[in-house]
Structures are given as structure tokens and as C-alpha cells.
Amino acid sequence: MENGPNVKVLDAVEQVLGEAGEPLHIFEIHRRVVAAKLWDSPGKTPDQTLHARIAVDIKKNPQTSRFQRTGRGIFALRKWGLPEYSHESARTETAQTVAPVLYLADVAKTPQKRRSTRRKPIVEDSIFGDEDLDETSAAPPSPFLAFTDAAERVLEQSPGKTAMHYQTITAEARRLGLINTQDQTPEATMYAQILTEIDRQHLQGEPPRFSKHGRGMVGLSSWEGAGLQSQITEHNFLVSQQLQTRLDEMPRPDFENLIAALLVEMGFENVALDKRLSEEHLDLRGTLVIAGSVRIGMLVRVVRDKVDLSAAIVQSLRGSLGTHEQGLVITTGGFSAAATQEAQRPNAVPVGLLEGERLVSLLMQYEVGVRQIPCTLYELKA
């Protein structure tokens, strides 16, 4: 039973999108629906419930649904006539609004060196061990850019540092030979990837490269100077860095409780610590509940380590899985290419991998270990 005013959930979504005037990520749709008191789900993962209802409506009514998917987790109103999102676009995406102010209690306010917002490429482990790879055998670098990098290049050349429509950005990127794609809807791919990057960087507390100006218009955040929004982003980035440090240094019992609390917030039930203790990792078992009906038994192995984990951690987890269980490895560090390949090995139980930066993002998203201070910012219309 849905609470709040007598507004159907899809009507609430339509109202929120109509007021925004542009596509929104499901997390932002949910935030605005709840803020306007249009809908409130009693479930533990209301954003997933909302996502499922929109997706089902689109699937049942592909031509007549009020909604349209324009990116991974991003929806628009069909009457706007935006390009359709294709599955080919999804394969090329990297994989969540005004950012709230986040605080980490009792943390020293010592500035830390900023991480690059672009992750270092992963070099695959040599099949013969840890020997250096032969540089002469490496493939030549591609002359083309990723969609978001191409968008940045186009915007940097924009006269007067003015925002551009994503369709214009895409056309200019193709004219300059910055991107090479066989996608039937490159404009939709471009806009989806820009929006996805903005949302991801907000959640990670990192300053976004791009800024949204409504109606498909996009600019560079660097043009905006050190305004209040920029200060909030910088503050949240510092909190994310402090949270990462706290994860590395907190006592093990506190770390266990923090991870267990995160799993519960993510939709796990019956979360319990495995009694077989290990100095190298901790194991938690629970049931992941999706959309209130799908239940998946999970073994979650958590490692506190700053180095990239090898394929051995994935193989070890598989050996510990019970009947019908699936596995997830969480680390405060990262994963080697060999570990990633092993997790996705054909004819083996797939294992999910969650690295340190994503772990911090989820803790901030679900307000575990941090608290969120809502912030409303008003500006005069142009």
C-alpha cells in the first residue's frame, strides 16, 4: 500500500519529469518524488521499486507509454521526442542531482591530495606471471575519444564558453573525427553518458566535468567558477576521502557493523557474520531481495587492502558458496584484470566485484557512516 497523497506512482514520475523539463536518473526522480510528498514506498529499496514500475510500463506499452528510456537508469517523457536508447548504447556506457552536503562525524579537516576523476586503465596480468609486458606488442592507441572526452573537447572550443545542445555536441564531435561509432542513435548515447558521469561523480563526491542547463543543454563545470555548488562538491569530495581513510583505520568490529548496515540498506535481509573468522577477510551471508519478490542467497566476502586483489580471491569465494548462493567480493582497494576476468569466466558462477571507490559511493548514497544535509539553492532565471 502506497502512502502519502492520492497520487499514483507513475503520475508522480510524470509530474516530476514535466517540472524538470529534462531526462533524470532514477535516483534523482525518486528524490524529487519523495521531496514533493507525491509517493512513499514502505520497501527498503524504493528507488529500485520506482525503476521497476517505470521499466515495466515501458515494456508493456513500448509505443504508448508516457515514459522513454534515454540512458542506463535515465528516463524522459516520450512527448519530448528524444532519440531512443538502444542496447548497443548500453554496451558502450561507462558505468547517480544538486548535490546535498555530506558530513563525516569527528573527522579531522586536513586537506588531502585530490584523486584524478578519471581512473587509470587496468593492464591485464601476464599469463606467465608478473613479468613486464612487451611494450612492442601493445596495440597502437586509438585515434578516437570516448564520448564524454569528445564532448569535453567540443565544449572547450565553444565560443564564449556557452552551453551547447547534446545533439550539436555529437554532430560536432563526428565532424571533427573525435568519435567513431556504428550506433544508430549516437546523440542518445552521448547524452546518456554525460548524465551518467555527472550523477556518478556527484555520488563519489567528485567535481563533475559537465553541468546541466536544462532542455538537453550541457556546459563545462569549470566555466562556473567557485560558486556555492562548486564549494559543496569540493566539500563532499573531501568527505569521501576522509571516509576512505576511516574504512582503512577503523577497528574491525566497527568495520563489520558498517558493512552489515550497508548491506541492509541495499536490500539484504538476514545479514549475519560467518562464524569462521579469518584475519584476511570477513564473510557475511544474507538474502538480497529485489523488488520485494526476487530473493537471492549471497555470500559477501570483504577485504581491507590497498593493493589490487588477484583472481585467487574470486576462486576462493566460489569454493565457499553454498547451494544456489551467489557471491560478491568487496574491497577497500581494487581488483586486478585477472580477478575481473575470473569473476566473469564462462561456465562458472558469476561473482560480483565492488572496489573501494564504489564502496565509498554506496556508503554516501545510503548514508551509512555519513549524514546528509539537504540543501536548496535558488538562482534567478536567465
Of 224, 245, 266, which residue sits at a domain end? 245
74 and 149 part of one domain? no
With both helix axes pointing from N to C terminus, report the angle between 356-365 and 228-249 in degrees, rounded to the nearest 10. 120
Give the separation between CA 76 and CA 17, rounded to whole angstroms.
7
Residue 90 maps to a domain: no
Among 19, 37, 258, which Cα is nearest to 9's?
A: 37
Q: What is the pTM of this model?
A: 0.51
148 and 213 part of one domain? yes
Residue 97 maps to a domain: no
Report pLDDT for 203.
67
Number of domains making up the chain:
3
Report pLDDT for 42.
59
290 and 229 part of one domain? no
CATH of the domain at 283: 3.40.1350.10
229 and 168 part of one domain? yes
Give the separation between CA 54 and CA 13, rounded to whole angstroms.
8
Of 245, 267, 290, which residue sits at a domain end? 245
Report pLDDT for 24.
83
Report pLDDT for 200.
78
Report pLDDT for 98.
45
26 and 56 part of one domain? yes
Residue 74, domain extent = 9-82
Report pLDDT for 324.
85
Q: Consecutive 10-residue runs of the chain (382 residues): their mean pLDDT?
A: 55 89 82 82 70 85 88 84 62 41 46 38 29 39 79 87 90 89 83 86 74 86 70 81 91 91 91 76 89 86 90 92 90 92 89 91 89 77 62
Report pLDDT for 137.
38
254 and 313 part of one domain? yes
- The tally of CA atoms less than 13 A away on the side-chain side of residue 108 is 5
Report pLDDT for 135.
37
Give the separation between CA 31 and CA 25, rounded to whole angstroms.
10
107 and 235 part of one domain? yes
**H runs (alpha helix) in the chain:** 9-20, 26-35, 46-60, 87-92, 147-156, 166-175, 186-203, 228-249, 252-265, 311-320, 337-343, 356-365
106 and 236 part of one domain? yes
76 and 25 part of one domain? yes
